[in-house]
Amino acid sequence: MEYRRLGKSGLKVSALSFGSWVTFGNQVDVDKAVGCMTAAYDAGVNFFDNAEGYAGGQSEIVMGETLKRVGWRRDSYVVSSKVFFGSQNNPTPTQRGLSRKHVVEACHQALERLQLDYLDLYFCHRPDPETPIEETVRAMTELILRGDVLYWGTSEWSAQEIMEAYSVAREHHLIPPTMEQPQYHLFHRKRVEDEYSRLYEGIGMGTTIWSPLASGLLSGKYNNGIPQDSRLMLPGYEWLKQMMESETWQKRLVAVRELATVADEIGTTLPRLAIAWCLKNPHVSTVITGASRSEQVVENMAAMDVVPLLTDDVMAKIESVVSTAPIS
Ligand code: NDP
């Protein structure tokens, strides 16, 4: 495993990390969670991602139980949560968003569910148009000063919003965000490669990127239809199935089938190639992988070995298949 600095912070995160969005969200038992997280940890993963909104807090409960069961030293791993959507269906106005009240309460609730004393990383999951950025920055600063959180960041904020948070923090002697959690994969690149380009050097922003396999599409598992045991068949994920069946995604599927040939040519698999492609970007601090079973985790961790195979020629070949490089 390779370890990368989270932006300009001193924290070293594993280049591949593990997220629990769908995995732990659907009554996955703790045994299965132990299998997935242990496979990741054994491969050198030190960062486990979560959010208050994943299955109404259930995902944090399962991760907390898992961490208790495996008994790893607390200083050997990093755990995150994210605040915004609330942890229950139909949250009331005080139970969601980025107000000081919800940011602080959601943090304490996440700690309780995870059975932890502090969160290493805490993200604002989406910007909140109804809360001044200064209020959120102050709330995050207070949580850090109290020792409830070590580093805070944003998720899916625009470059302008991130700069505003940074400037407000600098102006009022508060703590600025350390990292952003954006979507990034072969079919979704503009933000990471273009919009944020000035933030990496400018403010030392790190990135913990999500959905490296485009919700599984780049694993190749949908090349011949939707398998019954895939996340697309889960109740509550009908929106994802609809997205997969859309014209845009069906076009992507054609490219994915071609990418399988490129993977074959360099002697690897499609998921490894797609994850390794994300790792090639030096502005990516960590790639948050998702998996519903431990065999997938093992497969995805092998992407580390594929990075050196992605020579300029291979990268050009991949580009010619997807044609998704953003125009600046
Ligand atoms: P991916 O795009 O990598 O999709 C993961 C899914 O792909 C798995 O659930 C599995 O599907 C399938 N898969 C994974 N590996 C393989 C493999 N080797 N072979 C075949 N199929 C495979 O990532 P996610 O969309 O899950 O995102 C990763 C993490 O990022 C999340 O867990 C979460 O922590 C974070 N995230 C953050 C968001 C944000 O807004 N900040 C939004 C979304 C995710 P199946 O379940 O069908 O087996």
The chain-wide mean pLDDT, for the chain, equals 95
Q: At what angle do helices 247-265 and 270-279 cross, to 10 degrees?
A: 90
* CA pair distance 92, 55, nearest whole angstrom: 17
User: Which pLDDT band, with edges at 50, 70 and 90, does 26 fall under?
Assistant: low
Q: What's the gap in Å between 289 CA and the centre of ligand 1?
A: 6
Q: What does the pLDDT read at residue 62? A: 94
* 216: alpha, beta or left? (left if phi > 0; alpha if psi -120 to 50): left
**Which H/E stretch holds residue 185?**
none
Least confident of 82-86, 97-101, 227-231, 314-318: 227-231
**Which H/E stretch holds residue 39?**
helix 30-42
pTM for the full predicted model: 0.97
Q: At what angle do helices 58-70 and 30-42 cross, to 10 degrees?
A: 60
125, 159 in Cβ contact below 8 A?
Answer: no
User: Which pLDDT band, with edges at 50, 70 and 90, does 232 fall under?
Assistant: confident
Q: What's the gap in Å between 303 CA and the centre of ligand 1?
A: 15
pLDDT surpassing 70 at residue 25? no
Q: Is 197 helix (H, G, I), strand (E, B) or coil?
A: helix
Q: Helix and strand tally (H, E) in the chain?
A: 12, 10
- Cβ–ligand 1 contact at 99 (below 6 Å): no
- Cβ–ligand 1 contact at 87 (below 6 Å): no
- Cβ–ligand 1 contact at 155 (below 6 Å): yes
Q: What does the pLDDT read at residue 193? A: 98
Both structure tokens of 314: 């291979």
Residue at 169: amino acid letter: A
Both structure tokens of 36: 């997935």
54 assigned to active site? yes
Rg (CA), the chain: 19
Higher pLDDT, 296 or 241: 296
Nearest Cα to Cα of residue 253 among 300, 322, 184, 310:
322
Atom from ligand 1 closest to the CA of residue 272: 18
Nearest Cα to Cα of residue 319 among 184, 185, 186:
186
The residue whose CA is least distant from atom 16 of ligand 1 is 296
DSSP letters along 94-158, please?
A: GGSSS-HHHHHHHHHHHHHHHT-S-EEEEEEES--TTS-HHHHHHHHHHHHHTTSEEEEEEES--
* CA pair distance 106, 263, nearest whole angstrom: 42
* CA pair distance 38, 35, nearest whole angstrom: 5
For range 294-319, the mean pLDDT: 98
Q: What's the gap in Å between 23 CA and the centre of ligand 1?
A: 8
Options 41, 54, 77, 237, the catalytic residue:
54
Distances (CA, A) of 229 to 4, 58, 293: 34, 21, 11
User: Which pLDDT band, with edges at 50, 70 and 90, does 28 fall under?
Assistant: low
* 223: alpha, beta or left? (left if phi > 0; alpha if psi -120 to 50): alpha
- Cβ–ligand 1 contact at 294 (below 6 Å): no
User: Which pLDDT band, with edges at 50, 70 and 90, does 89 fall under?
Assistant: confident
For range 270-296, the mean pLDDT: 97
* CA pair distance 57, 111, nearest whole angstrom: 11
Q: What percent of the chain has pLDDT over 90?
A: 86
**pLDDT tens per residue, range 39-62:** 999 999 999 999 999 989 999 999
User: Which pLDDT band, with edges at 50, 70 and 90, does 135 fall under?
Assistant: very high
User: Which pLDDT band, with edges at 50, 70 and 90, does 230 fall under?
Assistant: confident
Q: What does the pLDDT read at residue 184? A: 98
DSSP letters along 224-246, please?
A: TB--TTSGGGSTT-HHHHHHHTS
163, 127 in Cβ contact below 8 A?
Answer: no
Token pair 């933030």 in the structure block, residue: 199
Distances (CA, A) of 198 to 184, 194, 219, 283: 17, 8, 31, 11
The residue whose CA is least distant from atom 27 of ligand 1 is 211
User: Which pLDDT band, with edges at 50, 70 and 90, does 295 fall under?
Assistant: very high
pLDDT surpassing 70 at residue 317? yes
* CA pair distance 320, 224, nearest whole angstrom: 23
The residue whose CA is least distant from atom 38 of ligand 1 is 210
pLDDT surpassing 60 at residue 27? no
User: Which pLDDT band, with edges at 50, 70 and 90, does 237 fall under?
Assistant: confident
**Which H/E stretch holds residue 298?**
helix 294-301
